[in-house]
Amino acid sequence: MREVKVLGMGCAKCEKLFENVKRAAEEAGVDIALEKVTDINRIMGFGVAMTPALVVDGEVKAAGRVLSVEQIKELLTKEG
């Protein structure tokens, strides 16, 4: 199971990224534990200056942009 976090304060782009992650996992058949992180202190703890951000298994994979479903599927299916 991959641990995935979407970091953001609830903006439209943050919501879009969250939905894209859910769709990507479903389409790729990857089991994920998905969490939406809205607490600014937790977001800052990842060293992220811009949201939305995507964290997979504790590693920031993207910040300040919304990845496509295809891009997320690629991240989720790499190395496990």
Q: How many CB atoms lie within 10 A of CB 30?
A: 17
Residues 62 and 34 sit within 8 Å (Cβ to Cβ): no
| Count of alpha carbons within 13 angstroms of residue 42, beta-carbon side | 13
Any catalytic annotation for residue 38?
no
What is the distance between the alpha carbons of residues 47 and 41, in angstroms, rounded to a whole number?
10
Among the options 3, 9, 10, 11, which is catalytic? 11
Among the options 4, 6, 14, 63, which is catalytic? 14
Any catalytic annotation for residue 14?
yes
Residue type, 47: G
Catalytic residues: 11, 14
